[in-house]
Amino acid sequence: MNDRHYTLFSGSTGLLGSYLLRDLLLQDVPLAVIVRPTRKLSAEARIESLVADWETVVGRTLPRPVVFAGDLTKADCGLDADAREWISTHCDQLLNNAASLSFRNADREGEPWRTNVNGTRCLLELARSVGIRHVDHVSTAYVCGLRYDRVLEDDLDVGQEFGNDYELSKVEAEQMVRQADCFDTATIYRPSIIVGDSQTGYTSTYHGFFAALRIGHTLLTRVPVGATSGRALLKLLGIDPDASKNFVPVDWVAAVVARGVCSAETRGKTLHVTHPDPLPMSFVAEVVQEAVETYSIAASPDDPDSCDEAWFAENMRTQLDVYQRYFRNDPTFDRSHMLQIAGDIPCPALDEDSLMRMAKFAISHDFGKHPPSLIPALIDEEAGRSADAAPDAATPAKAT
Ligand SMILES: NC(=O)c1ccc[n+]([C@@H]2O[C@H](COP(=O)([O-])OP(=O)(O)OC[C@H]3O[C@@H](n4cnc5c(N)ncnc54)[C@H](OP(=O)(O)O)[C@@H]3O)[C@@H](O)[C@H]2O)c1
C-alpha cells in the first residue's frame, strides 16, 4: 500500500488556513503542517489550541495533524533531516496557503517578497527534493492587477499593471508553481477579498473591508461627528461610489478549497474563488458608516486627541494612497472552473446583517489588539463585554 497519503500544509494558523484546517480534518484528510512558533507558543501548542477550539465548535473529536516547526523563509523551510525524511515517506500533496499580506516594499529582501516569492521557492524546492507529486497553491484573484475587463481563470501575465507589490509577489509565486516541472499537477485557487465568517463574524486579519472599516473607525474616534457620512468616507478614501468590489466569506472560501484539495477532478485547474455578486462600494461605505456609528466611541470636541478632517486626511495619507488603488472597480472574474468543482456549495450573500456582524467583531476586538476566539458563544460574550466596557459605544453617534 502507498504510505504517501498525507498533505503537507503551510499557512494553517492564519484566517483562511484555520478554516481549511477544520474542513480538511472534518473530512479525515491526513495532514502534516509547517508552523512557525511564536514567542509564547510552540508550533505544536498553536495547532493543539486551534484544533481544540474547532472541536468545541463542531462538537466532535478531530484527528491531530503531524506538526513540524518551520519557516518558509529559512533554508529547507527550517526543517531538519528527520522531518524531511518523514515528509518524503508520507506526503504526496502540498497545500501552500502561507503568505505575507503586506502591500508594499521596494526592498525585495523584505515582505511581501520574502515569504511570497522566496518562501514559495523554498517550499517548492523542498517538495521537489522529497518527491511530492501534486501541488495546490492559494493565490489571489488580484493577480489580475489593474485589469478591468473579463478575467479568465487561465489568464495570468497579460502585460497588466499592478496596484501594489503584494499583487506582483503573488503573480511571481503563481508563475513558479505553474512552471515547476517536478509535479504531475498544479492546482491554483484565487480568492477575491476574504472577509470574516458569514455566520459568526469571526476574523483574525483586517484587510479589505476591515481596512475601510478601520479608517472609518479611526475617523469617528478622532474627528468630532459630522464628518462621517458614507459619502464623506468614500471621498476621503478616494473611492468611486459606482465601483464594485468582490468580497467572499472565509467559511465559503475554505469549503471550496477543501473540496478542490480532496477531489482528483480539480487537479491541474485554476479556480476563481469569487462571489457571484460583487458589492457596490456605496453600500460598503453605508455599512461602514452604520457600524462605526453603532459600535465605535465617537470623538468629542473636548477630547485632547480630537482633530479635524484635513488633519486626518494628511496624517492618513500613506494608508489612504495604498487603499485608493486597492478600492478601484473590480473586473469580472470568470468562475467556470470553480462552478464545475464546487457549484453546489452556495456562496452566502454578504448583506447588511452579515457585514454588521463582522464589523462588530472587528471593532469589539479592536482590530486584533484583543485575541479573538473561534467559538461562537465566546464571540457573543466578548462582544457583550466590550460594549459594557465602553458605554459610549452603545450610544450611536449621529452623522449629519
Ligand atoms: N485575506 C485576503 O483577503 C486574501 C484574498 C485573496 C487571497 N488570499 C491568500 O489566502 C492565503 C491566506 O491568507 P489569509 O488572509 O488567511 O492570511 P493570514 O491570516 O495572514 O495567514 C497567513 C498564514 O501564512 C503563514 N505564514 C506567513 N509567513 C510565513 C512564513 N514565512 N513561514 C511559515 N508560515 C508563514 C502565517 O503564519 P503565522 O500564523 O505564523 O503568521 C499564517 O498561517 C494567502 O495565500 C493569501 O495570499 C488572501
The pLDDT of residue 393 is 34
With a CB cutoff of 8 Å and minimum separation 6, the contacts of 166 are 100, 101, 102, 103, 104, 112, 116, 140, 142
Same domain, 135 and 172: yes
Spatial separation of the C-alpha atoms in residues 81 and 163, rounded to whole Å: 40
CA distance 247 to 45: 32
Q: Which residues contact 329 (CB under 8 A, 6 or more apart)?
A: 148, 240, 242, 243, 244
46 CA: nearest ligand 1 atom: 39
**Number of the ligand 1 atom closest to the C-alpha atom of 204:** 19
Can you tell me which residue has the cell 507529486?
133
CA 195/CA 335 separation, integer angstroms: 19
In a shared domain, residues 53 and 162: yes
Q: How confident is the model at residue 285 (pLDDT cuts 50, 70, 90)?
A: confident
Q: Is residue 166 in a domain?
A: yes
Task: Say if residue 314 is in the same domain as residue 361.
Answer: yes
- In this prediction, residue 122 carries a pLDDT of 98
Q: Are residues 185 and 296 in the same domain?
A: no
Q: What angle do CA 96, 190, 10 make, to 5 degrees?
A: 15
**Between the CA atoms of 215, 229, 145 and 331, what dihedral angle is there, to the nearest 10 degrees?**
150
Do residues 181 and 45 share a domain? yes
Per-residue confidence at 155, pLDDT binned at 50, 70, 90?
very high
User: Looking at the domain assignment, is residue 250 inside a domain?
Assistant: no
- Judge if 164 and 229 occupy the same domain: no
Pair (152, 228) in one structural domain: no
CB-defined site of ligand 1, < 6 Å = 10-17, 36, 71-73, 97-101, 115, 119, 138, 140, 170, 191, 193-194, 204-205, 207-208
pLDDT score for 310: 76
Residues 142 and 289 in one domain: no
Residue of 10, 22, 36 best suited for mutating to test ligand 1, as the one with most atoms within 8 Å of CB: 36
Same domain (yes/no): 320, 186: no
- Structural domain that includes position 290: 209-245+278-328+348-394
Backbone angles phi, psi at 28, to 5 degrees: 55, 35
Question: Which pLDDT band holds residue 135 (cuts at 50, 70, 90)?
Answer: very high
Question: What string of DSSP letters covers 144-192?
Answer: GTT--SEE-TT---SS---SSHHHHHHHHHHHHHHH-TT-SEEEEEEE-
Do 167 and 237 lie in one domain? The reply is no
Measured in angstroms, how far is the CA atom of residue 19 from the centroid of ligand 1? 12
- Rounded to 10 degrees, the C-alpha dihedral 132/157/165/252 comes to -60
| Same-domain check for residues 216 and 185 | no
Query: Cα(100) to centroid of ligand 1, in Å?
Result: 6
Specify the CATH number for the domain of residue 31: 3.40.50.720
Q: Is residue 198 part of a domain?
A: no
Total number of domains constituting the chain = 2
